[in-house]
Amino acid sequence: MSAVNLSYEFFPPKSERGQKNLLKVAQKLSRFNPGFVSVTYGAGGTTQAPTFDAVTAMSNAGLSTAAHLTCVDASRAQIDAIVDQYYHAGIRRIVALRGDSPDGIDAAYRPTPDGYAYASDLVAGIKSRRDIDISVSAYPERHPESGTWDAEIDNLKRKADAGADRAITQYFFKAETFLSFLEKVRAAGVTLPIVPGIMLQPNFEGLCNMSAKCGVAVPGDVRARFDRITADKDALKAETTQFARGLIEDLRAGGVTDFHLYTLNKSGIAAQISRSLTMPRRQNRVA
Ligand code: FAD
C-alpha cells in the first residue's frame, strides 16, 4: 500500500500551562513527519489570541502550522488584519471556514453585514491578498444546512474555484461514507484533494451528542461496539484506537493516502495510530 501523509488538529488551550502542554504534544507527534498541524478557532472568534499564540508557538518550534479562521462576527477589514498578522508571523497555511452562529451551532447563521458571508468568500478574500495555502471543510454526510447534495457539492466547487488547495472532512464512522462522497464529488468534476478527518475522541457518549448536533450519523453497530465498554476509560481508549485504525485501513484499501487526525490535544491515541502507519513493523513493535 502507498505511504500515508498525516496532519494533526489541535484546539487552542486557555492557559499558559495548557499552551506549554500542547507544544509538547505537538512535538511528540512531529516525529511522524506530519504535512502540517492545525489549530482551531473558537466559535464566534472567541479564541483569536490563544489560537494565534498556539499557531505561532508551533510554527516557531519548526512545525508547518495552519491557523483556522472563521467569518463569524468580524468585518472583512478585521479578518484581513488577522490574515496579515499571520502572514507577517511567517504562517503560510489557513483553514478557512464560515463558522457557526455565536448563539450556538443550532442557531440560525447570519452573515456579518460587512463581513465575509461564507467560506468561499473568505477563501477568495485571503487568496486575493496573500500567497497562503488554504484548506476548507467538506461534509461526507452533507452540512446540516445544505438541503441537497447538489447544494453541498456546488458549495465545495465554489470553494475550490475560489482557490482552496484541499478540503478536510467532518469526521464519519464508515469508510463507505467517505468513499461514496468522494465519488459524488469527482462525478461533479471537482478535483480538489479531499482529506478524511479521523476523530480520536474516546468519550463515545460525548461524541454521540456532538454527532447529533453536526449531522454525523452514528451507525448501530458502532454504537453497540462502544456501548459494551462505556465505564472503563482505558478500554474506551483502546477501542477508539482500534476503531480509528480499522477505519483508516478500510480507507487505504479504497486508495486514500492522506489523513487528518482530530487529536483532542492528546498524543496517546494519535501517536499509536501514527506509529503503526508510518514506522516499519520492527520499529513499531519496539517503540
Ligand atoms: P461553508 O462552506 O460556508 O458552508 C456552510 C453552509 O452554507 C453549507 O450548508 C453551504 O451549502 C451553505 N452555503 C455556502 N455558500 C452559500 C451561499 N452563497 N448561499 C447560501 N448557502 C450557502 N468551526 C469553528 O468555529 N472553528 C474551527 O476552527 C472549525 N474548524 C473546522 C474544521 C473542519 C475540518 C471542519 C469540517 C469544520 C470546522 N468547523 C470549525 C465547523 C464549521 O465552522 C461549521 O461546520 C460551520 O457550520 C460551517 O462552516 P463551513 O466553512 O463548512 O461553511
Q: Spell out the domains of the chain, with CATH numbers in brackets.
A: 5-278 (3.20.20.220)
- DSSP 3-state of 45: helix
Nearest protein CA to atom 29 of ligand 1, as residue? 40
Angstrom distance (rounded) from CA 68 to CA 77: 17
Question: Beta-carbon neighbour count of residue 29 at 10 Å?
Answer: 22
Residue 41 CB less than 6 A away from ligand 1: yes
Angstrom distance (rounded) from CA 135 to CA 37: 12
Atom of ligand 1 nearest to the CA of 168: 34
User: DSSP assignment, residue 55?
Assistant: H
Residue 98 CB less than 6 A away from ligand 1: yes
Atom of ligand 1 nearest to the CA of 69: 28
Q: For 44-71, what is the mean pLDDT?
A: 93
pLDDT at 36 over 50: yes
Joined grid coordinates for residue 109: 447563521
Q: Bridge partners of 39?
A: 10, 67
Q: For 234-261, what is the mean pLDDT?
A: 97
Segment 96-120, tens digit of pLDDT: 999 999 888 888 999 999 999 999 9
Angstrom distance (rounded) from CA 260 to CA 277: 13
Nearest protein CA to atom 46 of ligand 1, as residue? 99
Q: For 33-56, what is the mean pLDDT?
A: 91
What is the chain's alpha carbon radius of gyration, rounded to the nearest angstrom?
Answer: 18
- Across 2-6, 159-163, 276-280, least confident range: 276-280
Q: For 60-81, what is the mean pLDDT?
A: 96
